[in-house]
Structure 1
Amino acid sequence: MSLYEIAFAGQVVPGAPLEQVQANLARLFQADAQRIALLFSGRRIVIKSGLDAAGAEKYRATMERAGAVAIVQALQAEEVAMAPPPAAPAAQSAAAAATAPAKSGTSARVIPRDEYMAAFSEVEAPDFGIAPIGADLQDAKPEAEAPAVDLSQFSLAPVGSDMGQAKAPAAAPPPDTSHIKLQE
């Protein structure tokens, strides 16, 4: 099954006003003016990737109705060439495989699909392995030592003793209400 990507390079359908196409795309993609300006910068920008033929045609037709010329391009399977592992003595490689099965010395090279990806063609990325199930992925940390604090100058007060809290002021006496009477 072939996969496709939809890209846009700022081209509009002949006869369509640029402002109207920008407004249509802003509504279609629910984007702000800054993102729409980026779409019309003249650079080829991938809108959606990994579509089947029907999905790619639907995107192209929708963008064409909005007044934009969409670029539909078939994705080619990228070739990944693996470098051979470094040569090591048999005894050393067996010991290394037993102690660190997650690390590998191979690196991957990706063949670029366009000029943007060509900038990364000289990058060599290590091929990291996958740790076995249940392996601890963090480095071991030493146990924290309790600080040496001298508490010999402190003692406990007996139960119920005054610990030096501030005394609350005595409550004022209730007002005298004996002279107040109810009239009938």
Structure 2
Amino acid sequence: MARYEIAFAGQLIPGAQPELVKANLAKLFQADAQRVALLFSGRRIVIKSNLDAAGAEKYRATMERAGALALIQPLDEEVEGIELAPPPAPQPVSAAPVAAASAPVDTPTARLRVVPRDEYMAAFAEVDAPDFGIAPLGDDLQDGKAEPQAPVLDLSQFSLAPAGSDMGEAKRASTAPPPDTSHIKLVE
């Protein structure tokens, strides 16, 4: 069974007044002015996806009555094709000093070349994105860490007290008189 999506790109039915259409869409989608302005930004916005043919036609007709031109597209199409760029040509290895060989070397990674699916995605066609590979199952992806070094502390100025000695502050004698409990009686 074919599935469809309903999209809107800010296009109006010929003769429709833009302010009236915006008000109709705000009422139809129960949206505020900011969301309605987003619908009229000129970009293609998907309103509803994964609809059957009857549901897609119902959305199209409702939006047409509101004055907006809805786009119906089948979802069976391939959305986006990805083609890997060819790997870089190997560079000749020259004789390098041994010290330079131990330094980390940045190897160029393959680059993705993405074919845009619509006008909105065409803005990202020139983005230079590295093609990071996927590590095999069970590989350790965390870089190794060096063991932390204990800080060097000079503790020669401290000494230990003998076992059983009182290390706290000396207790002071209480200066308050004991409470008067003469009025308290024990009833049997």
- 1:173 maps to 177
- 1:121 deviates by 2.2
- 1:24 deviates by 1.9
CA contact (8 A) 1:21 1:68 kept: no
- 1:63 deviates by 4.2
- 1:119 deviates by 2.5
Unaligned runs of 5+ in 1: 90-102
Of stretches 163-172 and 146-155 in structure 1, the one that deviates more from structure 2 is 163-172
- In the TM superposition, what whole-angstrom CA distance separates every residue of 1:41-92 from its partner, at most 9, and x where no partner exists? 3x13322576354464454355456664322234642333323334559xxx
Amino acid at match of 1:83: A
- 1:82 maps to 84
Residue 161, structure 1, aligned to residue 165, structure 2: yes
Q: 1:34 to 1:81 in 2, by over 3 A?
A: same
Amino acid at match of 2:165: S
CA contact (8 A) 1:7 1:72 kept: yes
CA contact (8 A) 1:82 1:107 kept: yes
- 1:46 maps to 45
CA contact (8 A) 1:5 1:51 kept: yes
One of 15, 20, 33 as aligned partner of 1:17: 20
Amino acid at match of 1:33: A
Distance 1:151 1:38 in 2: 67
Distance 1:168 1:32 in 2: 72
Q: 1:152 to 1:113 in 2, by over 3 A?
A: same
SS in 2 for 1:140: coil
Q: 1:50 to 1:126 in 2, by over 3 A?
A: farther
Percent identical pairs in the alignment equals 60
Distance 1:49 1:23 in 2: 16
- 1:145 deviates by 0.3
Q: 1:85 to 1:174 in 2, by over 3 A?
A: same
CA contact (8 A) 2:6 2:60 kept: yes
Q: 1:118 to 1:20 in 2, by over 3 A?
A: closer
- 2:101 maps to none
Q: 1:127 to 1:59 in 2, by over 3 A?
A: farther
Distance 1:68 1:112 in 2: 26
Distance 2:46 2:172 in 1: 73
Distance 2:184 2:124 in 1: 99
CA contact (8 A) 1:4 1:74 kept: yes
SS in 2 for 1:37: helix
- 1:136 deviates by 1.7
Q: Give the number of aligned pairs.
A: 164
Q: CA RMSD in A?
A: 3.8
- In the TM superposition, what whole-angstrom CA distance separates every residue of 1:102-142 from its partner, at most 9, and x where no partner exists? x9943321222333322222334332211111212122121
Residue 144, structure 1, aligned to residue 148, structure 2: yes
